[in-house]
Structure 1
Amino acid sequence: MRDVQINLGNRSYSIFIGQGVLDAAGTLLTGLPTGRKALLVTNPTVARLYADRVTAALTRAGIDVVRALIPDGEQYKALQSAEMLYDRAFAAGLDRGCPVVALGGGVVGDLAGFVAATYMRGVPFVQIPTTLLAQVDSSVGGKVAVNHPRGKNIIGAFYQPVLVLSDTGTLRTLGAGEVRSGLAEVIKYGIIKDAAFFTWLENNLDHVLALEPAALAHVIEQSCLSKARVVEEDETEQGQRAILNLGHTVGHAIEALAGYGRYSHGEAVAIGTAVAARLAVDLGLLQENEEHRIRNLLARAGLPLEVPGDISTDAVMAAMYGDKKTRAGQITFILPAAIGRAVIRPGMAEEPIARAIDNCRAGSD
C-alpha cells in the first residue's frame, strides 16, 4: 500500500493506493476523529460491485452504514440530487461528526463532497474513487461541486477530504472508455509539471492500457504527487493551481454544448488540450515537435483530438465566457510552454483562440 500525503496544515490527509485498499477502509477510518455512522453515496453500477465489500469493512470497525444511491450519469450531479442526499442524511440522524463516504467516480465524488461541505456546515468527507479519472484527479485536492444547466461545476466549494482510498483492483472492472478518460488527466500532469513522467508514459503506455497493477500504481501515485504539490502551494486556486485546468476551458464548453454524456470528461479535456497546444504553438510558446508529442500520446491513449463539427466556434467561445476561470469578462487560458511546464494566460484575445479551435477540427491542416 502506497501512502501519498497532502500537506495542508490541519486539513492534511493521506491517499492510500494499492490492491485490497477497500478492505482496509474501516481500519483506516477509525483512526480519524469521526462519528459511528456514515452515509455511503454510490450509484447502482458501483454498488453492485463494491458496496457490500465497503459496508462490511466499515461495519467490522463499528461504523453503521446508511446507503444512498444516485443514478449513473453527469446529469445527476445536480442540486436536486444533493437535496435527496440531505434528506437521507437527516432521516438517518447523521450529526456533524458522521462522515459522508463517496464510493464511485467523479460524479459521485463531486456530489457527495458538495453535500459533505454543506450539510450542517460541513461533515467529514471520505473519498473511495473507483475510476482512473477519480483516482488520479477528482478525488484529490478538495474541489467539490454540482453542475448547473449553464455550466459545469459552477456551484461548489473547496472542501478537503479526511481520507482517500484508491484501490487499483477496482480499475479492472472499467470499460476501455473509462480508462481512456482517466488517461487524459494523467497525461495532463506530465504536460504541466513533470517531463520525466510524460516520457515514462510514452514508454509505458501499453502497460497502463493493459491495466498492469505496478504500472497503474505508479501512474496513480505520480499523478497524485503532482497534484498534491500544486494544491499545497495554492489550495483555493488563487494563482498557480489554475495550471491543473489545462484543457478544461475548451473541454468544459464542449461537454456542456454537446450535452453531458456524449463526451466523457476526459475525452472533452483531451480535445481542449489539443486546442491549447495548437494555441501555444501559434503564440510562439511551444515548439511544434512538442505539440506533436502531446497529440501522439493522447491519440495512442485512444482519445479524441478534434472539435466536433456540429459545435460552432462561436458557441464554444460564448460558453467559455461562463467558465470559472474567466475574470472581468476576459478568458484565462492554461497553455503548455514546454512538456513539463505550463503558463497561465489571462485576458486572452478571441481571435487566436478561435483560430486554434478551427485548426483542431476534422479536415483542417
Structure 2
Amino acid sequence: MRNWKVAAVAATVLAMVFAAGCGGKTETKTESKDIKIGGNFEMTGGVAQYGQSAANGVKLAFKEVNAAGGVLGKQINFVIADNKSEPAEAANATTKLISQDKVVAIVGPAASGNVLASIPVASEHKIPLLTPTGTNPKVTVENGKVKDYAFRVCFIDPFQGTIMANFASNDLKAKTAAIYVDSSSDYSKALAQVFEQYFTKNGGKIVAKEAFLQKDQDFKSALTKIKATNPEVVYIPAYYEEVSKIIKQARELGLSVPMLGSDGWDSPKLVEIAGAAALTNTFFTNHYSSQDKDPRVAKFVESYKKEYGQEPDAFAVLGYDGGLMMIDAIKRANSTEPVKIKEALAQIKNLQVVTGILSMDANHDPIKSAVIIEMKEGKQTFRTKVNP
C-alpha cells in the first residue's frame, strides 16, 4: 500500500514538473508572438508635423504587413515614444524604448538634431536605428567613421544642396543668388554651404547672405537688405514654419524673384501660412511627388488618404519606406536579433519602395533619386526628377 502511495505521489510530482515545463514553454511562445519595433518621433513640439507624418507612414507599412500575416510568422508591435522635438528628449526616448519597451530596432527620429542625439544611446545598446528623414551627413558618418548601428531612408543634404544649385544655374539661368539661412540649425547651415559651393562653381555669384533664428517672426529688415542686392534667386534652406513667413513678407516687400528651398519646406502649413499667391515662383527639393506616374506612388497615396484622411507629405512616404526597409531587413535576416537586423539593413540592395529602387551604400546612406517641386496655385507640382 505504502509503495502504491509513494508511486502515486511521485507520479503527481512528475506531472506537476511536466506541466510547469509545458507552461513555461507556452509563456515563452506568448512573449515572442510579436516583434517590438520602436518609433522615436516628434509627436509634439516645434516640428511635430514632421514626426507625426513620418510615424503615420511607418504605422501604415506595419499595419499592412500585419494584415498579410506579419513577419516571420509574428505581428509587428510598433511602440512610439514622443521626443517632443528636443534632442535631450530624443535621447531619453531612445533609452525608454530600449530599456523599458525592449525593442529590437528603432525607426526615427525625423529631425537630424534629434537623430544625432539618439544614435549614441542606440549604438551603446547595439540596437539599429533607421531615420526616415535625418538628412545631415553626420547621422551615418562622423570624422570619417561609419556609425555601425545608424541608417537612413532619405538622401543626404549635400545631394539636395547640389541639385538646387544646379537647378538655379541650369534651369533658371540665374547668375546671382542670395542666401537666407537659419543660423540656429545645422541642417540649414550645411545646405547653404553646399548650395554656395556649387552655385559659384557653376559660375554664379552670391550677392547677399543673411541669417535668422528659429521662432523669429519679423524678417523684413533682412529681406530689405537682400532685395537691395537684386538677386535673381533667393535660397532659403529651412523649415516650413519660418519659410512660410519669410516668403509672405518677401512678396509684401515686392521681392518677386524665385525662392528656392529644401525638403524642410514640405508641409501643408506652408500654404496655410504663406498663402497660395505668395508661393508662386517657388521651388524646393523633395523626396517624391504625389504626381509621379509610378503606380506604386498612386497606390500609396490612396492607402494613406484612406487611413488618415489627408494627402501624404514626403515625411509620410519616407516613414512608409522606412517601415518597408525594416520589414525587408528582418525577413532577410530571418531573425529578430538586433545585430542580424543591423547587418541586413547594411546589405539592402535594389529594394523597391515608394520613392524608387534603393540600395544602401558603404556609408549606410541610400542611393536614390530626388525631385524638384514647383508650387503652383498653392499646390505642389512635379517639375523634374534627378537621379544620383
Instruction: Tell me whether the two structures share a fold, i.e. TM-score over 0.5.
Output: no
**TM-score of the two chains, using structure 1 as the length reference:** 0.36
Larger helix proportion, structure 1 or 2? 1
